[in-house]
Structure 1
Amino acid sequence: MAVREIVKYPSPILEKKCKEVVEFDEKLVKLLEDMHDTMIEADGVGIAAPQIGENIQVAIVDMGDGQDVIELINPVVTATGGSEIDVEGCLSFPDLFGEVERPYYVKVEAQERDGSIYEIEAEDYTARAILHEIDHLNGILFNSKMIRIVDLEDLEVEDELTTEREGEEV
């Protein structure tokens, strides 16, 4: 496994629609493992293949809460519901954060590394992360969906206030 260099905006590969995966082989397994190592090293929540220079429909998302990392190969969004605005960042846009409106719920059909098809449903933050990564596979970047840029200092103050509130007794 290897940590790969993260492609930064404005690299053209980030705005291209990715090609469908047709070969489920050792090369794909290595790519998935490299993506995982790269995401962990960069302290990311998800990463898409174009972010490491590969123009194919592969993304991974850390489900959080001690759950596994999901691998999304040739993902297709089959349903969405609700809507919410929250702050997002992106490994390809260091130090850029902004408010983005996305569905609260998503249902996706995708393939496993062996080519088998599965379906996943997610809500809230996990749905947001999945949709962010699927956008990457379609050449859509979060900066094109931002409603408002959020200053990094504002995020740090918000995190400090949240931490203080969590430490208070009710």
Structure 2
Amino acid sequence: MITIDRTTDPRVLRTAFSCFPTGVAALCAEVDGELIGMAASSFTCVSLDPALVSVCIQNESRTWSRLAQARRLGVSVLGADQGAIVRTISSREGDRFAGTEPMLLDGGAVVLRGAPLWLECSLWNTMQIGDHLLAVFEVHGADAEPDRDPLVFHASAFRVLEGRV
């Protein structure tokens, strides 16, 4: 057992946290006529009533300050066949939507075709927590295909699920 404190090498903690698999979501919107998107592997369902989800965003994110201006955001939980999309939408340079099929919803939210889950959301609340911002979104619309397999982030790599238990 390693003691974790403020002097611990962040790579040690990152390796430990990577043992917990998570889904991968793309947060996207149209702001001032421009498509803006980013990936998050910390997507979590928070509440059914009201319908709330959350993501954690690095404090250094330049994309978040632009996305936060959107009246509505699309959250697309990516599918097993969308590994290339997460790399593209996470890139710091170039067209983040190259090779994707974005779909603009009426309120300005952008979702990605082929994702097993789409959510149309608005920013509900934020909280500064350590080196991340916790952003909570209210869900206004959803479209789900539960039989489609998700993309999973585990041990610092994108993976797909194998079989059922």
For normalisation by structure 1, the TM-score amounts to 0.27
Relative contact order, CA 8 A, sep 6+: which one is greater?
2
Which one has a larger percent helix, Structure 1 or Structure 2? 1
**TM-score normalised to the size of structure 2?**
0.27
Q: Return the structure number with greater strand share.
A: 2
